[in-house]
């Protein structure tokens, strides 16, 4: 099916585990406005009107039903799924369709932006760290990318919270005050709260840099590290401090709303 997007507005919706993010695009791919809300607040959130709607939903059937009930009945909706090939990216997951639709959209957006090997990081409730390799490069410079695999970790907040819930003597942290404001992660932490926070942040940033190192070996060039999501600034700051990987650290960038941009790109080719 070819969807004509020469005119009209496109609403991209990324329904995640904790929040629903949305962006309104024109047909040229410029984001005109965007917003986010907690999943529990979706019913009282105003979503803008559009001519086409594209949705990534990893929050389950109940979220899908809620979105259907809230969105206009006469507006075409495309529910995305991961595919073997889309927008210049090949999917090497064992079962392509089981890759999270948010991860797939982020990979497509990262390739569209960088056209180079990338470690693509979505830092939300969970942290996904995915490797995008260059498969081939034609004479005119148009490359083809491969998603060659990735990792899933508990997110910065979830990692800390799990320690408080599963242990008797470790503190149950106030994550709102801790993870969103604290930026220092001293590896020689002097109190338990800082030790939990630093352990979680170093675990995430260290895994990202390990992925970058392995992709550097495979592609024979330092990959970009493309980071998006609510905890992207904290993780980015930590990566920039990783002195052992200075060359690759300098390749790190924050790209806001990466999944939403990937959803727009997918809708264009449907």
Enter the tokens of residue 234: 């904290």
Enter the tokens of residue 216: 């550097």
**Which phi and psi angles does 39 have, rounded to 5°?**
-55, -40
Please name which of 107, 116, 108, 152 lies closest in space to residue 134, comparing C-alpha atoms: 116
Q: How many residues are there in the chain? A: 270
Enter the tokens of residue 222: 């330092």
The full DSSP string for 107-129 is HHHHHHHH-S-EEEEEESSEEEE
**Which phi and psi angles does 132 have, rounded to 5°?**
-115, 115
Establish whether 194 is a catalytic residue. Answer: no
Catalytic residue among 14, 41, 102, 130: 102
Q: What are the distances in angstroms from CA 42 to CA 62, 158, 228, 239? A: 12, 22, 22, 33
Torsion of CA 172, 178, 180, 185, to 10 degrees: -110
**Residues annotated as catalytic (active site), given as ranges:** 102
């Amino acid at each position: 099916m070819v969807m004509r997007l020469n005119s009209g507005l496109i609403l991209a919706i990324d329904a995640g585990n904790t929040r629903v993010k949305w962006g309104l695009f024109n047909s040229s791919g410029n984001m005109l406005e965007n917003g986010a809300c907690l999943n529990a607040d979706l019913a009282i959130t105003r979503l803008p009107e559009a001519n086409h709607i594209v949705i990534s939903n990893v929050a389950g059937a109940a979220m899908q039903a809620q979105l259907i009930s809230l969105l206009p009945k006469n507006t075409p909706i495309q529910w995305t799924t991961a595919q073997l090939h889309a927008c210049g990216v090949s999917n090497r997951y064992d079962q392509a369709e089981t890759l999270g639709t948010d991860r797939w959209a982020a990979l497509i957006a990262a390739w569209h932006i960088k056209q180079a090997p990338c470690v693509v990081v979505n830092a939300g409730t969970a942290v996904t760290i995915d490797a995008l390799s260059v498969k081939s490069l034609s004479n005119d410079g148009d490359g083809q990318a491969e998603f060659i695999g990735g990792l899933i970790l508990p997110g910065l907040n979830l990692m800390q919270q799990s320690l408080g819930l599963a242990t008797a003597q470790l503190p149950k942290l106030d994550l709102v005050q801790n993870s969103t404001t604290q930026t220092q992660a001293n590896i020689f932490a002097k109190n338990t709260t800082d030790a939990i926070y630093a352990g979680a942040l170093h675990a995430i940033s260290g895994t990202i840099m390990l992925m970058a190192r392995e992709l550097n070996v495979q592609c024979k060039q330092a990959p970009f590290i493309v980071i998006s999501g609510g905890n992207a600034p904290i993780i980015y700051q930590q990566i920039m401090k990783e002195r052992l990987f200075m060359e690759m650290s300098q390749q790190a960038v924050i790209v806001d709303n990466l999944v939403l941009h990937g959803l727009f790109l997918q809708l264009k080719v449907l």
